Structures are given as C-alpha cells and as structure tokens.
Structure 1
Amino acid sequence: MLKMPTTVVVTEPLGIADKFSIAWRIPLLVFRCTARFIALYLSHGEASKLHWRQKLALAYLQASRVTLTRKQQAQNRKRLTGPRIQEYCRRHRLKHRAITVHGATFSNERRIPDPVLHFVTAPVPQPGGPTIFYSHGGGYHNPIKAEGHVPFALQCGSACKAQQVVFLEYSLSPEHPYPCQLVQAVAGLRHLLEQEAIPTESIILGGDSAGGHLTASLLTHITHPSPYAPPIDLRGGQFKAVLLVSPWMAMSEEQISVLPQAHDDFLTRESVVRFWDMFRPGLNEVWSNRCDTRDTVAVWKRLFPSGHDHAISHKAMLAVGTLEVLYESCMGFGLDIGFDCVYVDSPAGLDSVRETDLVLAVVPGEAHVQPALDSALGYYDGMMMKAIFNFLRSC
C-alpha cells in the first residue's frame, strides 16, 4: 500500500465569513489582474520582452498575492503533491507509479517521514534514455503546482529523450523544517541507484526554486556527507547533467534582508523571508547555506573543478531571469563557482548554451521559474524554456 509523507498541513477551514470574503474579492482580483496585465503590456522595461501569455500569468499571480488573504491562499496547501501528480497523470493518460522509500532514517531526534517517488512515463518514452530526478519548488512550504511543474519536467524529458521523470514528494515546512527534505532526497536518490539499478550516468538531477536548493544540497551531501543521512557512493560515476532553475541559494539572514524589491516578479522579498522562517535552515552548514562563505564555495568548486575534470556531472546549468527577486544571489553563486555566463537573448545565446558544459544562463525580462508559469498556459516558446531545452538536447 502506498504510504504518503506524513506532513500535517496546518490550514484552518474557511468559515462563512471567509467564503463571503472570497466572493467579493473575485471582482477585485479580476480588476487588479487586468490592470497589472495592461501595465506589463505597456511597459518599456525588460518585462516588455515577454509574450502576452507570460504577462498574463505574472499579472494573475501578482494580483492574487495582494488580493487574497494569507488564510485564503493557504487553502491551496490542503491537497498534497502526491494526489496532484496522480490526478494530472490520470487526466492526461500518463503512466504513473508511486513508491514509498522506507527507512529515510533519523535526523537528530526527529523522525523523518518516508518520501514518495512518483515515476511518470512520457507519452513517447525513449527506452534506454536518461531518468530525470526532479524536485519541485514552493519555498519548501507549498505542494507541487502540477499544471506547471509536471508538464515542464515532461517537456525537459522530451528534450533529452528521457525514458521517465521521477518526482520527489518531500515533506513541507513548517511542519517539517530543515534537514528533513535533504534526508528524503538522499533516500530517493539511493533508491534509484540501488533498488532501481539506474546508472549514475543515466540520471539528470533537476529542481526549481526551493527544489533547486534541495538539488544543490543533495550534490553537496554526495561529496561532503552530512551527519543527517547515509553517504552516497557514486563509485566514480558522473551524473548526465544537473539543472537548477531559479534556485533559492541565499539562505543567511543578511542575504535575505538585502534581497531587492523586484516589482515585476511574482515572488517577493517578504515571501522569501516567510519561507525562510518556516524552513529554518542551518546557516553554518554547507548542505543548507552555500553562498557567501569560503568554505561553502570551496565545497562547490570541488563539485565542478576548474577545467571540468572529475566533476560530479558531465554538464550543469543554472538558469535565472533578470526580473527575479533571486537574480543577484543566483548570479553571485554561479560566478563564484566558475560557471560560464551566457545571456540568452538571441539565437546566438541559445547556441552558446548548447556548446557550454557549465553554464549560467541569464534570460532578460523573465521572472521566477518562468518555464513553469509558461507550461501552465501551454506556452513553450519562452527564452528560458528554449535555453533549457537546448542545454538538455546537448547532454
């Protein structure tokens, strides 16, 4: 029997007053969404580069944030990641199987819930192709956005001719703070390597936002084992690729406090602070905070050494949009590690992404995890999306 992660989602039920509040807020939401869409459409800044569907998605998220109350927004957490993926696969007739990974182990004195791996086979699977092991974003607090994350990851699978995409269902904060998710990611990867017998060279590690941070934490654990989970021995193998989309890398209080007010992004500095407070990262630990200290940068340089010899992965990409609240932290991290910076604003930039092994892909005018927003509206022609697909086709 499938056992789901025992995350207890703390959301109070909506009363009559709350439901009435939502009803009268709907016209206000429509008005604000329309006003914001017009503002983005008439913008002469970098946001003007966006397609109208991209502007519409941003406008809706921005309007929702300022219109709905925190309690109303929290209702979205009632349905967890597993049921969302299962429902998406059912509606789109995708082959799906879920496996509970038992014995995720203990962390200090806290019991870590067993994670669940969701194996999703694309409509046209490629036998012998790679496996994408994907961790979704959401500030470690929100479940997967199935209509955005799942089709985006599946399109990534099509680009690299993958045979399957495996989504990690991890527990959520504040019910389960750091390092719970790291322990679960380690258990998930060990299951793929040992129980599914998938070669390291056939695995692509990917994640966006908090999922990008989790992927980075997992990589750090491999070369610099944490005390929270068993080590992972790759036996000299290398991953096929690593993909970090708008990763949340800034984890210290100082870094969080100086995040800019990115007015064209839907993610705000205040939201990042709130997610950080619930996640409660270990600020002096390389598996949690990997920016701004010599020790953490040194660990990551061992993951991707100069000249790319003996790197943990054949290829790696960090993709970020210039509208993002996390833009500067992603740029600082990528440049500190030694990734080659490529501005993706032309066909030449897309070609450079394909030809670069360790690439920091900077996309003018795009927002936080833009490909997931695009995928939710069925738009697959955004520059960050095309850059990621080009990168994966070259793997």
Structure 2
Amino acid sequence: MITDEDIDQIGARPLTTGDWFKVVGIMAIYRQDKKSEALLAFDSLAKFFLPSHPQHDFHWRQKAILAAIRTSNVFQSQKRIVYAGGHTKTSSERMRGYAAKREGIKHREVSVPINAAVTAANPATGRATSSPTLHFFSGPWLAGEPSNDDDKDGHGRGDGPIIVYAHGGGYVEPIAPSAHVALARSMAKACGARQVIFVAYALCPEAQYPSQLVQIVESLRYLLEQENIPPGDLVLAGDSAGAHMMASLLAHIAAPAPYVPPLRPSGQFLAVVLLSPWFTWTDAASLGTSACDFLEGPHTANLVRVLRPRVEDVWCEIVAAPNAHEVWARVFGVEGSGEKPLVKRLLVTASDSEIMHRDARVFAIDYAGATSVSVGAGDSETQFARVRSETRVFAVGRRETHVQPGLDEAVRYYGGGTWRALQAFMSSLRD
C-alpha cells in the first residue's frame, strides 16, 4: 500500500495550474505530429544546439529524446507514484500488448512460484513476496527476419545464447518496450540469440527490498531447474535498476542472502551485461547533477528511501557494503580468492558524464578487474575491437547520458559509442 510517507519521500506533488497548462500544450503539439519529437520539448532542445553544450555534436535524434526526457521530468515524480500505484499498464500488460502487435514473435509467459514460507517475513512489508512473471520472446522477429509459419520450435533462427533481461526504471516504473525490448532485441540479433526472457518484477513502493532480490533469484532458479537451461547458455543483462538486480543475483550466488534459499548453478554463465548500473545507495544525494545526464542525485535519493533498502547488505549496496570486496572477489575469481569465476565474460557500460559513473567504475575496474575502453560515436572499429577481445570490459561513453544505448534504440539511432560497444561485445559471444 502506498503511504503518505512514500509520496513525500518519492517527491510526488500535485500538479499546479501552470503544470497543467504545460501538459495541455505538450500534448497538443504531440498529437499534431507524433513523429516530431523535437517539437515535444522545443525549449530544452534548443540548448543542445549551442556550441557551449557538451552534447552539441550528438545526432539530432539523440538530442530530441534527451530534450523530451528533461521536459517530462517536470512531471516525473507525479508520474512515478502513479505507476507504482498500479494506475497504468504493468510490465506484463505492456509485454503482452507489444507481442500482440508484431508479427513473428512467439511469446509465452510463466508465473514463477515463490515459497511463501520463505518470504512471509519480508522485513520491509511483513508480507509474502509476489510471483515474478517471465516473458519468453522468440521466433523470426528476434532475428529481424520475416515470419515463417514453418518455424514451429518456438525459437528464433539463431542458435546462440539465451538472454535474460531485467529492465531499469528506479524500481518504480514498468518496462518501456520501445527502449528495453528494442535494446534486448538488438543484443539478441548481434549474438544470434535463440530467445530473450524478460523479467517482470514487482515495483516499489508496493514491493520493497528484498522483494526484487527474491524474485530474480527464484526466476533464475526456475530457468535452471524447470526450463533446464544450462548456465553456459545464459547472458544475464539489465540496465540501471535492472543491472543492480542482476548484480544482486550474482552476489547471492557467491554469498547467499538470508531472505531466499541459496542458488548453486552447475557451471559458469556465458556473460553478464550491466548497462549504466545503479550502484550508489548510501549517499545517492551526493551524486549531484550533470549537464549530460537527465538523472539528479536528490531525486535518486528519494527513490532509495522508497525502496527502503538495507545498505549494509552487499545484495543491496553493491559497491559500498562492508564485505563487498570479498564477495566480488569470489564472484569474479580474482587472484588469491581461490574461486572459479561465476561468469565467463563481463561488460559494464557507463557514460563518463552520468552521475552514476563513479560506482560503476569502482565495480568494473576495482572489483571485476575489467579493462576500461573509452568509446564515442566517431571512433574507428579498432577501438571496438578491444571490446570484442577483452574478457571483462568497462566501456565508457564520452559525454553520453544514463543508459544511452536504450535511448538510442528508442529513436532508432545506431551510431552511439556505448551502443556500438554493446553490439561489439554481443557479437563476440558468437565465437
């Protein structure tokens, strides 16, 4: 149940008369020409064309979506509490709608059972954790091929891995198919994946920590034990909060949390992909702002408070928890740990100008021992060859924003630095 305290913490407020005039104006423009994203946020967009703006050389499509996001942030806190209250379509409803409107998608969904006895005493809510839903997407659509009625096996044309994807959104927003599904599909095409599995998890403030940890652990357990998928066939991927969720899963495998039974995979995972991971919790307000990023530290801190995390837990505070270094040494099998790595390959991406860059770098470089590679839209293929060849990579986009590849997919721009790095890494999984 959403409390007044939750509303205060998340920063939601009633829309003022001025806000409503802005809404009417924006919607009028939007309905006039849905394809003109530049008109949606004209005032904000104009700033991107000033020579002094750090992103003035971005593609116009990138500028348009960033301007739209910055404009929508006026109403973001109100929108998020509406999402969390269930007054809009859930992730599962969006996934069903997306699949129904596109040819060549083979879609099935599974509600993952949760042991109520294990989760009945959730320290945040005192209630049992709800079941997550897994959405299996496959078929010719996955490979970008025409639909073929002879494809009866439920898989795409690829014989590559299976991608398990957890979407971002601050743990309060449902999946955005135009960005998240499109991004996962492009990853699948790059590596010839035969299937993408999306995790529809519970959102805050209705479900608080450690609900999402329990859900991702039980989702993977289901895939390993009921779907009989070998760990070596799996690419675990996520962006922002979804990347945090995947990291929490790895931490649980190495050092089991008390909230859910241990999980012991029979082998290494093929790869883990963490896009702009949200790893800063304890001092989120200190993240500040950036001219290149649409996220702001104070609002991020509000989201942290709504999640009601236990920041002493390494499954929550990925980087700054007291035993984080020890746990990640076990996950990545660093020298002296005596452990075999849980994952064969790792890609972490972040912009050098996004507010969450600091802890993403600590995780990738200090904990995982990744090689840092700076990437930009105009870089030669030689730079991206490094991404393909390294076992663990920290791809740093120059002057980009939070989860830039997802925004690029939403506007169908395929030349960004981290987008190209992601494609290079995924294509290397074919080898």
Quick check: TM above 0.5? yes
Which of 163, 188, 194 is the aligned partner of 2:219?
A: 188
Deviation of 1:110 after TM superposition, in Å, equals 2.5
Which of 131, 135, 143 is the aligned partner of 1:114?
A: 131
Deviation of 1:362 after TM superposition, in Å, equals 0.5
SS at match of 1:171: coil
Which aligned pairs between 1:38-187 and structure 2 lie closer than 5 A? 38-66=46-74, 68=75, 70-72=77-79, 74-75=81-82, 78-93=88-103, 94-105=105-116, 106-107=118-119, 108=121, 109-122=126-139, 123=141, 124=143, 125-187=156-218
SS at match of 2:420: helix
Q: Which structure 1 residue ranges, 4+ long, deviate > 6 Å from structure 2?
A: 17-21, 27-32
Q: What is the identity, as a one-letter code, of the residue corresponding to 1:326?
A: M
Which deviations, in whole Å up to 9, do the C-alpha atoms of 1:270-318 show, x marking residues without a partner? Answer: 2211211111111111111122345112211211123697211110010
SS at match of 1:240: strand
Which aligned pairs between 1:317-336 and structure 2 lie closer than 5 A? 317-336=347-366
Match status 1:210 vs 2:211: no
1:334 and 1:127 map into 2 onto residues whose CA distance is 30
Task: Tell me whether 171-180 or 21-30 shows the greater mean CA deviation.
Answer: 21-30
Which deviations, in whole Å up to 9, do the C-alpha atoms of 1:81-102 show, x marking residues without a partner? Answer: 0011111112222221110011
1:69 and 1:246 map into 2 onto residues whose CA distance is 20
Q: What is the identity, as a one-letter code, of the residue corresponding to 2:170?
A: G
Report sequence identity in percent: 33
Which deviations, in whole Å up to 9, do the C-alpha atoms of 1:319-351 show, x marking residues without a partner? Answer: 001231111221222222122111113223211
2:63 and 2:55 map into 1 onto residues whose CA distance is 8
2:343 and 2:53 map into 1 onto residues whose CA distance is 37
Structure 2, gaps ≥5 residues long: 31-37, 144-155
Structure 1, gaps ≥5 residues long: 1-5
Deviation of 1:381 after TM superposition, in Å, equals 2.1
Closer, same or farther: CA 229–63 of 1 in aligned 2, 3 Å: same
1:73 and 1:133 map into 2 onto residues whose CA distance is 25
Q: TM-score, normalised by structure 1?
A: 0.90
2:97 and 2:388 map into 1 onto residues whose CA distance is 34
Which aligned pairs between 1:310-389 and structure 2 lie closer than 5 A? 310-337=340-367, 338-345=369-376, 346-347=379-380, 348-389=382-423
Match of 2:148 in 1: none
Contact 2:313–2:321 (8 Å) recurs in 1: no
Match status 1:37 vs 2:45: yes
SS at match of 1:54: helix
Deviation of 1:25 after TM superposition, in Å, equals 5.7
Q: What is the identity, as a one-letter code, of the residue corresponding to 2:93?
A: P
Match of 1:3 in 2: none
SS at match of 1:196: coil
